[in-house]
Structure 1
């Protein structure tokens, strides 16, 4: 590897070297054909590999979101997901997946919590390492992100995360350090924000001194998209500016940096060497011809997504127990809630993919319930911010019986002449990122999205149009909604009532244009029938006459997304009212929640059971049904603390920030560390989750009572399934420093193991404690310190349920 790279490096001209340190476009690096240096392609993740198109030109497998992966507490499973995502990435002709996201759940409100594994740096680092190992074992590069302290969306392009050295090292850098040392990711992405006043993409201390120096990271550092802000990005550790073409790492600024002495030619060579090394690692030199994008709906991926979804589901309450349901019992099941019919399978933003298909919870329950079960549905209450997309069953490609929408692209802005390209979409929603519009290199363009609409019932409907750009809607050649001359960067929804007749075929056409260069455009059309009655009344009546009521509630990608934070922990709309009214008429009410972060549950004492299903990917409905009917044990445990109220969370006073700064004033006391120290009881603690069986912990033992800094101690515990069913358990090891010179949390997670036991089965779980597990970071040294003295090993089922403990001494 080294000889080939050094030979190429010696042959490159200065201009060619400069060309290589910025992307060619939104998704590719620059090629140097003269020397046989190919371009490589990146694609968004972490819960799928999207490819160039956001619109389903080539669909993708949609896996459970990052926090759901974290909730499995199963690194081996996450490694398998990484392997599958490598296949998905190759399907999109890409070499690097922009994943995993390993930022910390600092506040329940952070918009991208759903992408991240946990509030805990150890759990995050272990899961990230497993993900990276699986991905890179199949020849696809991981891009661990966002480095670092990118823990909210508020003013995300400018905010300074002001954080002390100890929490920076022990909480926010630690998962990156663990993953880099254990799994050696080939690339890393700098964050949008500033850290203590310095932009992440030009932060020499983080990128050069710590990442490349202390940690000996030999991979490529790329910017987040448009995440460079000044010419200082040329000379402080950033290797690749994305997307291209270059804004700061261009010929003018790089030559100026060399002339000033800010950037040496040796440092420029190091950037290029890292890129060439990455091209070699992902097989770019061996296979320089770009692969065409394709969609492969693999049965093995379907099964893996379903299994991962079930393993992530956290059972929070189960009185009676009402769960699991018996599919062979003669019963009427009321399924209630918008999320039962419009499945919430992923969060919003850059992680979105166009899935091969979606199994809704309603479909999953109906497929799993036996012939003796009657499953009825009521929406209860809509929770849409915008009117929902047109149901694919209601629309046809114009002039055909094929479900879908035709989209025609034009190089002009008045949609005149013949289209230059035609594609098909699942519904009337499309978005575009970067200068490349689908597969057309267009900075300005227009598009017509058209379909035949076949309403299933006559009546009044609300038609909605929202766009970033300019758009208008025609219904049978009548202009019904017009945003053709509005401000471009808007996105707000305009609604218009229309009357439709069942059985009549309407031609619905949306015209969209983008007249200026830009990097984000979108259009969406929604349709919703008006009704005079209260849909909650219908749901309550259904629940009252049913044996069991399952209410699907929570959030969607409209409420949890990249680009904005949540405003509170409440369920949007009238969902709390719906749950309470259903529970009042049916004592066997089960609530299934979709969310990527904590929610308040004011109705918790009124319902029989609560299951947290996160956003489970394309097999979400089947995975939920597997758990509800006991085919799978609820295998998830909380990777983040659920507080009783927003004001209880440790970041509350210092969130989201002001005047361009956010103070990480809670220091080390993030998540359960804070609730322990303050004595604040959460709604559900970190690590919590019920099973359909019970487990007993016995016989905690240590391999020694003392250890030296260069030694390890093993901690063993016997765990028995004392219940009547097979079940999954997550055994958690925490360590307490009994007396430290500097402030330390009451306990910290240092090990975990997921086990599956048959009724009556016992297994021994063993952990290893080394010096690092006992260390804290002391800025005065500076470095990691493990002080001699007493420590306590604590083993339990959650941070608040410690079953056994034993002291030992570091000498």
Structure 2
């Protein structure tokens, strides 16, 4: 929370760290005299001092504390006992990702998780402000922490932006540009994967001799395109201008999106297409378009996508960029997993 040097992230060689704004500074300046801000370091980045040294290179220090884990935790719990809400800023340091910064364990460091667990046991509301340069395995956090704000490494002014979102001055509307796994064993995991010879039926978990795991489902923890808001968006049924098209016709796909919550907000409506059968294997879905719309509480808007054969093209076996006639799945939704879908036939 008090590490302004880490805010710009890795490969920020031209950044002036002295002018960056930390989370704690951003919160204090945004709130002013409207609240009392208490702070404790809580824990070091990791128990391993050498790992922390390797993760805080190029002046991006976290000012490692020489006190024991218990001393740091006791101080944090004492401060938390005086607070109404706990904001836990944790996760990765700036140089834990980027060039020559691979990790075999992509969970939040255990020393941080132990502190987070202790803070949760106070019964106070806890918000995890998560710094990360990669998709992390956050199954424990998802199951235990009531609110997670993923802030990546947003740059020198990010401290103010984090505070604006935390206190509701800005309603978050960001969507993930990568897939977050349940655990490291699912990696590589991505939404546009190719099908397998024995795919698992959608919505199922374990079937013998199918492409699946024994211990977890095939689903990601957070799919590509995922993101929450302080309001709720409801999608109507997918409407298509036609289910049978020929040549260079245009298909219009539309859906009604309603802000069914109590706060104005923005939503990113996403269009995906699947080419069911191709001369070469095709992904199970591909992002083909998106629109960001703003809706007042209770408002409904119709979002339309115009689809042409240009959206169906791919590089075939002869490396020609072309499309092939056949059956396609049209999908619109709030992320790559939660979609409304319908099949069409498109011939040349």
TM range, smaller chain: 0.7 to 0.9
**Residue of structure 2 in register with 1:611 after alignment:** 149
Partner residue of 2:9 out of 347, 356, 359: 347
TM superposition shift of 1:594: 0.6
TM superposition shift of 1:346: 2.5
**Residue of structure 1 in register with 2:232 after alignment:** 694
Answer whether contact 2:330 2:343 (CA < 8 A) is retained.
yes
Answer whether contact 1:675 1:681 (CA < 8 A) is retained.
no
Secondary structure in structure 1 of the residue aligned to 2:118 = helix
Distance 1:747-1:753 versus aligned 2 partners, 3 A rule: same
State TM-score, norm by structure 2. 0.83
**Residue of structure 2 in register with 1:359 after alignment:** 21
Secondary structure in structure 2 of the residue aligned to 1:341 = coil
Answer whether contact 1:549 1:590 (CA < 8 A) is retained.
yes
Partner residue of 2:192 out of 666, 673, 687: 673
Distance 1:626-1:525 versus aligned 2 partners, 3 A rule: closer
Secondary structure in structure 1 of the residue aligned to 2:37 = strand
Distance 1:356-1:635 versus aligned 2 partners, 3 A rule: farther
User: Equivalents in 1 of 2:341, 2:65: separation in Å?
Assistant: 59
Answer whether contact 1:712 1:769 (CA < 8 A) is retained.
yes
TM superposition shift of 1:492: 11
Secondary structure in structure 2 of the residue aligned to 1:538 = helix
Distance 1:604-1:541 versus aligned 2 partners, 3 A rule: farther
User: Equivalents in 1 of 2:277, 2:240: separation in Å?
Assistant: 20
TM superposition shift of 1:573: 5.6
Superposition map of 1:591-670 within 5 A: 591-601=128-138, 602-650=140-188
TM superposition shift of 1:372: 4.8
- Whether 1:703 and 2:222 are equivalent positions in the alignment is no
Q: How many residues align?
A: 323
Secondary structure in structure 1 of the residue aligned to 2:192 = helix
- Whether 1:792 and 2:311 are equivalent positions in the alignment is no
Answer whether contact 1:592 1:613 (CA < 8 A) is retained.
yes
TM superposition shift of 1:526: 9.1
User: Equivalents in 1 of 2:63, 2:311: separation in Å?
Assistant: 55
TM superposition shift of 1:753: 0.8
Answer whether contact 2:226 2:335 (CA < 8 A) is retained.
yes
- Whether 1:540 and 2:202 are equivalent positions in the alignment is no
**Residue of structure 1 in register with 2:320 after alignment:** 783
User: Equivalents in 1 of 2:97, 2:307: separation in Å?
Assistant: 38
Answer whether contact 2:55 2:95 (CA < 8 A) is retained.
no
Q: 1:678-736 CA deviation, whole Å, 9 max, x = no partner?
A: 56111111111111111122253223333334333222222111111001111011112
Answer whether contact 1:789 1:810 (CA < 8 A) is retained.
yes
Secondary structure in structure 2 of the residue aligned to 1:585 = coil
User: Equivalents in 2 of 1:785, 1:525: separation in Å?
Assistant: 51
- Whether 1:736 and 2:303 are equivalent positions in the alignment is no
Partner residue of 2:98 out of 561, 571, 584: 561
Q: 1:622-672 CA deviation, whole Å, 9 max, x = no partner?
A: 10111111111111111100001111012xxxxxxxxxxxxxxxxxxx611
TM superposition shift of 1:767: 1.3
Answer whether contact 2:3 2:61 (CA < 8 A) is retained.
no
Distance 1:769-1:548 versus aligned 2 partners, 3 A rule: same
Distance 1:675-1:626 versus aligned 2 partners, 3 A rule: farther
Distance 1:673-1:523 versus aligned 2 partners, 3 A rule: closer
State TM-score, norm by structure 1. 0.37
Superposition map of 1:464-543 within 5 A: 530-531=66-67, 534-543=71-80
5+ long unaligned stretches in structure 2? 200-210, 213-217
User: Equivalents in 2 of 1:360, 1:782: separation in Å?
Assistant: 49
**Residue of structure 2 in register with 1:809 after alignment:** 345
Secondary structure in structure 1 of the residue aligned to 2:39 = strand
TM superposition shift of 1:755: 1.1
Partner residue of 1:373 out of 35, 45, 65: 35
Q: 1:563-607 CA deviation, whole Å, 9 max, x = no partner?
A: 332332022361111111111113411111011211122233222
Q: 1:300-329 CA deviation, whole Å, 9 max, x = no partner?
A: xxxxxxxxxxxxxxxxxxxxxxxxxxxxxx
User: Equivalents in 1 of 2:299, 2:281: separation in Å?
Assistant: 41
User: Equivalents in 1 of 2:73, 2:126: separation in Å?
Assistant: 15
5+ long unaligned stretches in structure 1? 1-339, 388-465, 467-490, 494-521, 651-669
Distance 1:523-1:761 versus aligned 2 partners, 3 A rule: closer
Superposition map of 1:4-403 within 5 A: 340-343=1-4, 344-349=6-11, 353-355=15-17, 357-369=19-31, 371-383=33-45
- Whether 1:585 and 2:104 are equivalent positions in the alignment is no
Over the aligned positions, Cα root-mean-square deviation in angstroms equals 3.0
User: Equivalents in 1 of 2:288, 2:277: separation in Å?
Assistant: 18
Answer whether contact 1:386 1:526 (CA < 8 A) is retained.
no
Answer whether contact 1:715 1:768 (CA < 8 A) is retained.
yes
TM superposition shift of 1:350: 6.1
Secondary structure in structure 2 of the residue aligned to 1:621 = helix
Distance 1:523-1:794 versus aligned 2 partners, 3 A rule: closer
Greater helix percent: which structure?
A: 1
For the pair shown, which has the larger CA radius of gyration, 1 or 2? 1
**Residue of structure 2 in register with 1:663 after alignment:** none
User: Equivalents in 1 of 2:110, 2:260: separation in Å?
Assistant: 42
Worse-matched range after superposition: 737-746 or 525-534: 525-534
Distance 1:785-1:368 versus aligned 2 partners, 3 A rule: same
Structure 1 runs (4+) deviating above 6 angstroms are: 384-387, 522-527
Answer whether contact 1:346 1:352 (CA < 8 A) is retained.
no
User: Equivalents in 2 of 1:688, 1:523: separation in Å?
Assistant: 33
User: Equivalents in 2 of 1:350, 1:372: separation in Å?
Assistant: 34
TM superposition shift of 1:348: 2.2
User: Equivalents in 1 of 2:74, 2:156: separation in Å?
Assistant: 31
